[in-house]
Amino acid sequence: MNKKIIVLATVFCSLISMAYARNEQVKISNIETDRGRYEKGQDVYLTLTLSGKKAGEISLSRLTTYLQNLETGQRVPGEVTVAGNIRINTKGYTVKNMRIWTVPAEIPPGPYAIMLVYEFGVGNRQTAYGTFFRVGDKALTCFDIAVDSYQGMKVFKLDGGMSAEYAVEKAA
């Protein structure tokens, strides 16, 4: 089990660093699937908004997605073209409820990353981590929030998710 967690954390961290290091022009303003967990045979729908990191219009020749198993690091065969000849202006570019995948019967349960591939022209591709969802297992994405106090300030402890998160309430 510990080996599985280490592999999962390593893959997830490499995806995050790839998204921030390589994606210099396009920013994911919003990305979500219609559900957090899917069963075999269900369709996965994606909604996303892209914006430019710099002033001016950005052109993409193509935007595609593929899936990657976060436990094994293996890429799921197949790629879906989301759109072609995209112009991202100051208002951004939005795709709403696009079906990107039907969960096949033979897919192993677990977490899957949605990877976005931006094509700016021939040979100029950048890949970014978008979001993730779970397939088949009964583990839901849920959190348990506990409240403690540290030197008079409330500390909210969040237990759950794929990384360690916490928040401290700002003192007045």
**pTM score, two decimals?**
0.67
SS3 145: strand
DSSP state letters, 35-61: -SEE-TTPEEEEEEEEEESSSS-EEEE
140 has pLDDT over 60: no
Q: Which amino acid is at 130?
A: G
In the chain, what are the domains?
A: 2-139 (2.60.40.1930), 142-172 (no CATH)
What is the reported pLDDT for 34? 94
pLDDT average, residue stretch 118-147:
79
Tens of pLDDT, residue by residue over 25-80, are 788 888 999 998 999 999 999 999 998 877 778 889 999 999 999 999 999 999 99
